[in-house]
Structure 1
Amino acid sequence: MRFENLDAEAIHALRVDMAAAFRLAAQFDWHESVGNHFSAAVSADGKTFLMNSRWRHFGEVKASDLLLLDAEDRSVMERPDAPDPSAWSIHGAIHRKCPSARVIFHCHPPYATALAGLQNPELKPIDQNTARFFGTLGIDLGFGGIADDAAEGERLAEAFGNRSALIMGQHGVSVTGPTVAEAFENLYFLERAAKVLVLAYSTGQPLNVMSEELARKTADGWLPYNDQAFAHFDYLKRQLDKADASYRN
């Protein structure tokens, strides 16, 4: 897929969508105090990107708050408005190495993070939502502490590869998408899928795991429904606008 550099109007629209995603993540209880980070590429090579500023709560992020960063600029962390070190480590590396990862959301939603804390954090296909990620979900078990150095960021970028989502063992999750709406939908369904699996585990009964053939068929069955991401995100933005449209500023 070929990507183009965004013009000023497109960048502003991207800022608005990103700010909406932050506000919605706080409403959905996917945030973690004033940590975690979302980013979106604005250049064709992915190396110039928008990301939230350091320690601003998701619930008050505005479009104008987002930092414009260059993944090749090693002096970013010397800026007076430097981003969170973990955010720079993870997102800088992925945007630098994976230009197809246009939008990247990293956070610690409760059920997906609970799954990430299991010895086997595999998202077993037991229903439509869990099967949605069959074949496109990576699992990283190399957690080495808070990802605040270049080496850890590079390692996570390699673990992500061309997958649409990554369960980060003992850490949390990251998802990507071509647009904010699609990345948000991936995160939405990943958390719902993790919830289904965690609740199923909690019964203590054996899981009814799909065969690989059925799981793949179910995952492929989701593909024609991709555009529902835009309808869902547009609806959620309309609800934000009714309650508090300040995210657009």
Structure 2
Amino acid sequence: MTATPPHATPNIAHWDERVELAAAFRWTARLNMHEAVANHFSLAVNADGTQFLMNPNQMHFARIRASDMLLLDANDPAIMARPDAPDPTAWGLHGGVHRLVPHARCVMHVHSIFATVLASLADSTLPPIDQNCCTFFNRTVVDEGYGGLAFEDEGVRCAAQLSDPKKRVMIMGNHGVLVLGSSVADTFNRLYYFERAAETYIRALQTGRPLRVLSDAVAEKTAAELDNYPEQADRHLAELRAILDAEGSDYAH
């Protein structure tokens, strides 16, 4: 756990959660999974999930610090009149999910290259051709109804498709990917492996050769084993934070 640095505001709420989110932003930028000053991550901080932290409007992932996070209330539209109001599409999408999907404690949305290529195919399902792809077997939702930028109506429409707690990834047709999780570590780990899985599939398609697709039984068995793999997500994020700390990053400020 990173202690609050001496020069940081000591009374900023939810400090540890802010630090974890900031680390996820920094590493997402390093992996080139960001998109300029667009895309957003959010984390619920109250029991029903309606209060959440999110990155500020149009700030590059590579610069975001723990103290930069906005603390928002999904039931308070007056937030959009604040001088530090969030991006309106982020409010529409993340506010809608946090208001309507209580199990979505953390929500990460990106337009990463391979996930977006997958979302651009006429058939955006991800077949179980390797272990990473198996991770997501029967655990994704494909949104077929893209209706433009994710303002309020679009956010509500997307949220309505996320009622099944088992399905933690929405492949947003013609758009990108939305990943849900129980924590920053859980969600970032899922985001990372989904992009890896999508890359494997897209590169396999590029060979033009037949795919070696696993049976449904083996795919489900593998997915269940990975669902219960001990501590991987927490260790993944801890190692990324250790690298950032060793480099002297200011993400935890």
1:145 aligns with 2:148: yes
TM-score by length of structure 1 reads 0.94
Give distance in 2, aligned partners of 1:57 and 1:243: 19
2:125 pairs, out of 122, 126, 145, with 122
Percent identity, aligned pairs only, is: 47
- Of 219-228 and 112-121, deviating more is 219-228
1:90 aligns with 2:93: yes
Match of 1:201 in 2: 205
Match of 2:226 in 1: 222
Give distance in 2, aligned partners of 1:226 and 1:245: 28
Letter in 2 for 1:58: F
Give distance in 2, aligned partners of 1:105 and 1:26: 13
Instruction: Render the CA deviation track for 1:117-164: whole Å, top value 9, x for unaligned.
Output: 11111011111100111111111010111112x111100101222321
TM-superposed deviation, 1:9: 8.8
1:158 aligns with 2:176: no
1:240 aligns with 2:238: no
1:13 aligns with 2:16: yes
Give distance in 2, aligned partners of 1:218 and 1:192: 16
Instruction: Render the CA deviation track for 1:47-75: whole Å, top value 9, x for unaligned.
Output: 00000010000000000100000000011
1:111 aligns with 2:109: no
TM-superposed deviation, 1:10: 7.9
1:175 aligns with 2:184: no
Letter in 1 for 2:194: L
Give distance in 2, aligned partners of 1:75 and 1:10: 20
Q: 1:9 to 1:67 in 2, by over 3 A?
A: closer
Contact residue 44 and residue 105 of structure 2 kept, 8 A: yes
Give distance in 1, aligned partners of 2:242 and 2:228: 24
Superposition RMSD in Å: 1.3
Letter in 2 for 1:216: E
Structure 1: state its 5+ residue gaps. 1-7
Instruction: Render the CA deviation track for 1:61-117: whole Å, top value 9, x for unaligned.
Output: 000100000000011111111101110000000000111111110001111111111
TM-score by length of structure 2 reads 0.92
TM-superposed deviation, 1:245: 2.6
Match of 1:213 in 2: 217
1:59 pairs, out of 62, 68, 83, with 62
Decide which structure has greater helix share.
1
Contact residue 148 and residue 154 of structure 2 kept, 8 A: no
